[in-house]
Amino acid sequence: MKHSELKEIALKRKDVRAEYESLEPEFKLLHGLLQARQKAGLSQAEVAERMGTKASAVTRLESSLSSGKHSPSIATIKKYADALDCHLEIKIVANS
């Protein structure tokens, strides 16, 4: 069974869909981080060097957002953004 098929089946359950949707902000942030790194043309090792850390730390940062096992600090995400010559913007938006 393909991942997409399993996901489709799982998301038919209300409890699974609710949990999946609750992770949307983390997925959006991860997508933004990965896009910025790709646009900068940098590897995880290069980002790590610019951050003054190890490549494994950047790997953990990127994977933590998709796994939901760890929430990186704003300071860490800011360092990541700075390493990509980007800046971090955080907004609170009212629900419609």
Q: Which two tokens stand for residue 48?
A: 């790590």
Q: For residue 65, what pLDDT is reported? A: 76
Q: For residue 75, what pLDDT is reported? A: 93
Angle at 23 between CA 65 and CA 21, to 5 degrees: 155
pLDDT of residue 92 exceeding 90, the answer is no
Q: What is the mean pLDDT of residues 64-88?
A: 87
Q: What Å distances lie between residue 7 and 1, 31, 44, CA to CA?
A: 10, 19, 28
pLDDT of residue 15 exceeding 90, the answer is yes
Contacts of 93 (CB under 8 A, 6+ apart): none
pLDDT of residue 84 exceeding 70, the answer is yes
Choice between 53 and 72, residue whose per-residue pLDDT is larger:
53
pLDDT of residue 7 exceeding 80, the answer is yes
pLDDT of residue 68 exceeding 80, the answer is no
Domains within the chain, CATH numbers bracketed? 24-96 (1.10.260.40)
pLDDT of residue 70 exceeding 80, the answer is no
